[in-house]
Amino acid sequence: MTQRTIEDGPIAEHNYTKLFSLAPAPIAIYKGRELRHVFVNTAYSAIFNHRHILGKTVREAFPELEGQPYFEIMEKVFDTGNPYYGNETPALLDMNNDGNLSTRFYNLVYTPFRNNDNIIEGVMVFGHDVTDLVEARNKEKENNNLDLSQQKLFTAELSRKVEERTRALKELNERLELSNQDLEQFAYIASHDLQEPLRKILLFNNLVLDQPNLTDEAKKYSEKIKTAVIRLRGLIRDLLEYSQLSQKTLNFEETDLNTILKNVLTDYELLISQKEAKVHADVLPCIEAVPVQINQLFFNLIGNALKFTRRSTLPVIHISAHLLSDIPLKNFPQLQSGKDYYEITIRDNGIGFNQEYADKIFTIFQRLNEKSMFGGYGIGLALCRKIVENHSGFIYAKGHAKEGASFSFVLPCTQS
């Protein structure tokens, strides 16, 4: 990698950034309305024979695109926030930096690049060179009138290209395997090497707190250190769990959601009693699932319902489930047609949230409330979404400020 501006922490450094660099398709990030290059992967750089691009605006880097529609398209994406999708889009490019232009065809996606406050900072481009496909299709049309022997030669050439692409994909898979090994190494560091110094900091800090004649000011600062270390340990633990979700082998089995719910409510028995909460549950179905992940899903969602409560209002939580018919299924185009799905909803009467943040809350490290009022690390709902996606499902939320919230997830009855 040559340059990047994504500040997402160690997970991004070991996961997304490396995958972007390894991707066989061109990827780049342009910052500001002037669209200045701040990140390009190897495939993107190779298109232009490794022309010096980083730090330059798109107009400075690609003068040959002047008069073509791309600059205006990118500026429109930045101004409106609406992505652009181009299919087999032709572009005249100076591929060898020698002034000779050639026509290439790309499937393109220009999408706005936003910061944590959802403000557009630039534009990200994903591309795929389909020139060979377009030319092959055009050639196939031309060859419709050729004799059989010429058709066989053309078929052999296509087969050769398919074999080349297959080999390229195999090599990419091998490189991704190496990337996964790097991620596993990071997980080991996070769970061992990072935890040990934190344990020692906490130990020595406790020794300081036990010292006689410690001033009130010193006690106050030591307590702040203790709180910060405990929070950091929890953050590392949750980050580790999040990073490992996609690596674990998924062993699906018949899972009774009633048993899962019973176990979770037992875990929260003391908290439910302390808050005098009422929990009402319908009879839940049995589905094919990974029990430990579904347990984590219910644990996080019910935990949120017990955490984000209103003062002077006794918490009431309702868990319901129903089999989706064909009509509701049309509201979820991302689900597979012809399969049976259950929708499970966990509804509460807590502090709720504004519906405009319904998508944001499932993003890692996103919080809608002050951590001083409500604990947590902004990872729980991101874990929920990843678990549901592991089960080929979909999760969404509805809320009204000071009126409560509902979280619904749709899961298939079977995974086959």
Q: What percent of the chain has pLDDT over 90?
A: 26
- In the chain, CATH 3.30.450.20 covers 10-129
Structure tokens at 237: 């633990």
Predicted confidence band of residue 316 (pLDDT cuts 50, 70, 90) = very high
Task: Give the tens place of pLDDT for each residue, 383-392.
Answer: 888 889 888 8
CATH number belonging to domain 10-129: 3.30.450.20
pLDDT computed for residue 209 by the predictor = 82
Report, as an integer, the average pLDDT of 117-125: 90
What number is the average pLDDT over the span 221-227?
Answer: 83
Say if CB 41 and CB 26 are below 8 A apart: yes
Cα–Cα distance between 150 and 324 in angstroms, integer?
54
- Please, is 209 exposed, middle or buried when counting C-beta atoms within 10 Å of its C-beta (0-12, 13-18, 19+)? middle
Note the pLDDT of residue 346. 95
Residue 230 or 287, more confident: 287
The gap from C-alpha 9 to its chain's centroid, in whole angstroms, comes to: 14
Burial 20-51 (b: 16+ CB within 10 A, else e): bbbbeebbbbbbeeebbbbbbbbbbbebbeee
Q: Among 7-11, 70-74, 294-298, which stretch is predicted with the lowest mean pLDDT?
A: 7-11
Secondary structure element (H or E) that encloses residue 320, with its range: strand 316-323
The larger pLDDT score, comparing residue 270 to residue 175, is at: 270
pLDDT at 366 over 60: no
Residue 23 has pLDDT above 50, yes or no: yes
- 231 vs 183, more confident: 231
Of 92-101, 176-185, 358-367, the least confident: 176-185
What was the pLDDT predicted at 178?
67
CA distance 226 to 91: 59
Residues of the chain with CATH 3.30.565.10: 250-412
- Residues 6+ positions from 104 with CB-CB distance below 8 Å: 47, 90, 91, 93, 95, 129, 131
pLDDT over 50 (residue 1): no
Mean pLDDT, rounded, for 75-99: 89
The contacts of residue 259 (CB under 8 Å, 6+ apart) are none
Q: Which of 8-17, 190-199, 330-339 has the highest mean pLDDT?
A: 330-339
- CA–CA separation, 62 vs 68, rounded Å? 11
Residue range 235-246: average pLDDT? 61
Q: Is the pLDDT of residue 268 over 60?
A: yes
Per-residue b or e along 237-262, where b marks 16 or more CB atoms closer than 10 Å to that residue's CB: ebbbebbebeeeeeebeebebeebbe
**Quick one: pLDDT at residue 137?**
84
Residue 246 in this model has a pLDDT that exceeds 80: no
Residue 16 pLDDT grade (very low, low, confident, very high; cuts 50, 70, 90): low
What is the pLDDT, as a whole number, of residue 177? Answer: 67
Which CATH superfamily, name and number, covers 250-412? Histidine kinase-like ATPase, C-terminal domain (3.30.565.10)
Residue 231 has pLDDT above 50, yes or no: yes
Residue showing tokens 């203790």: 226
Residue 241 CA from chain centroid, whole number: 14
Q: What is the pLDDT of residue 147?
A: 59
Closest listed residue to residue 342, CA positions, set 359, 328, 360, 330: 328
- Answer with the residue of higher pLDDT: 346 or 219: 346
Q: Is the pLDDT of residue 238 over 70?
A: no
User: In the predicted model, what is the mean pLDDT of the chain?
Assistant: 80
Is the per-residue pLDDT at 201 higher than 50? Answer: yes
pTM tops 0.85: no
Residue 193 has a pLDDT of: 64
User: What's the CA gap between 325 and 223, in Å, rounded?
Assistant: 55
- The pLDDT tens digits of the residues spanning 143-167 come to 665 656 666 777 788 888 888 888 8
> How close are the terminal C-alpha atoms of the chain, in Å?
39
Residue 36: what pLDDT? 93
What confidence score (pLDDT) does residue 12 get?
A: 41
